[in-house]
Amino acid sequence: MSQDLPTTSYALLGLLSFGDDLSGYELKQRADRTLRFYWVSPAMSQVYTELARLTKLGLVRAREDTTAPTRSTRRFQITAAGRRDLQRWLSSATVEFPALKHPIALRLLMGHLAGPETSVTLLEDYLGLLAERRAELQAVRDSLIVDPHSPVDRFRYPRMVADWGLDYYESERAMVVELIRRVAATDT
């Protein structure tokens, strides 16, 4: 059965497709660790809203985990129907050009009002943020190791996406360094 779901639903189904049995909180943590590098990590309330929708549609199975001594936890797992719908979406969704929402580019657009010194400082500060984000993504990439005991390398594609992100951050860094040079050369 084909569903018209928001992209966030498919992102969460994708995060569940690695075979884990996750609580909503654990799913949110996985989204924060991964999606934030190339997509918006959903808010906790959105994770639970989407899990309720996906459960109602039979795309996710929920079960009560009563092994914790203090309280039970609902754990979620993708169903066969959820996997089929996710695969259908992956193969049939229209490819869209990403929307660039870049606060540094927006501020540099108005650099004539801020002046070259402020613009250079803005760009240099951004270089620091890029280095931090790249280091965070490198740590994620380093954690995506091949399990020698598994017949399937389930992290092959996540490693590719992490490599793509690392290359993106490197090209962004090179562009910003060039912008700093241009601002300093033309506005001083």
Two structure tokens written together for 21:
């049995």
Residue 83: CB atoms within 10 A of its CB come to 14
Of the CA atoms within 13 Å of residue 146, those in its CB half-sphere come to 6
Q: What's the confidence (pLDDT) of residue 89? A: 93
CATH number at residue 87: 1.10.10.10
Domain membership of residue 16 as a residue range: 7-92
Are 83 and 117 found together in one domain? no
Our count of domains for the chain comes to 2
Please provide the DSSP assignment of the chain as one string: ------HHHHHHHHHHTTS--EEHHHHHHHHHHHGGGTSPPPPHHHHHHHHHHHHHTTSEEEEEE--SSS--EEEEEE-HHHHHHHHHHHHHSPP-PPPP--HHHHHHHTHHHH-HHHHHHHHHHHHHHHHHHHHHHHHHHHH----TT-SS-TTHHHHHHHHHHHHHHHHHHHHHHHHHHHHHHHH-
Q: Write the CA distances from 40 to 7, 8, 46, 176, integer angstroms.
A: 10, 9, 11, 23
Q: Does residue 20 sit in the same domain as residue 79?
A: yes
Residue 21 in any domain: the answer is yes
- Token look-up 């992209």 returns 7
- Two structure tokens written together for 4: 């018209």
Give me the tens of pLDDT residue by residue for the chain, a chain 188 residues long: 456 899 999 999 999 999 889 999 999 999 999 998 888 889 999 999 999 999 999 999 999 887 877 777 899 999 999 999 999 999 997 888 888 889 999 999 999 999 999 999 999 999 999 999 999 999 999 999 888 888 889 899 999 999 999 999 999 999 999 999 999 997 54
What pLDDT is recorded for position 76? 96
pTM: 0.82
Sorted by sequence, the CB contacts under 8 Å of residue 54 that are 6+ apart come out as 5, 9, 12, 13, 60, 76, 82
Same domain, 85 and 139: no
pLDDT of 20 reads 83
Residues 88 and 129 in one domain: no
**Are 114 and 182 contained in the same domain?**
yes
> Residue 2 falls within a domain, yes or no?
no
